[in-house]
């Protein structure tokens, strides 16, 4: 498992939708050098938490 600090440093190395989303999720302000106007509103992600929720391991059924 990686630390939040590592993920923030990795996100700051590039300018992609995923890196900007990671910075927002970690509460880090997005640097001005990144493109303006390309951030999706938080309401656009309704239901994503359910999609990525960990309800169990796929390995639970293996013997």
Domain residue ranges in the chain: 4-61
- Tokens 């639970």 correspond to what residue? 60
Q: Tell me the pLDDT band of 16, cut-offs 50, 70 and 90.
A: confident
**Residue 33: left if φ>0, alpha if ψ -120 to 50, beta else—which one?**
alpha
> Which residue do the tokens 């656009």 mark?
44
How many other C-beta atoms can be found within 10 angstroms of the C-beta atom of residue 20?
20
- Which tens digit of pLDDT belongs to each residue from 26-59? 999 888 777 665 555 666 666 777 777 777 777 7
């Amino acid at each position: 498992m990686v630390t939040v600090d590592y993920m923030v440093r990795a996100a700051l190395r590039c300018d992609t939708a995923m890196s900007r989303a990671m910075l927002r999720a970690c509460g880090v302000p997005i640097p001005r050098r990144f493109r303006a106007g390309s951030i999706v509103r938080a309401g656009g992600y309704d239901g994503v938490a359910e999609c990525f929720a960990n309800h169990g391991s796929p390995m639970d059924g293996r013997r």
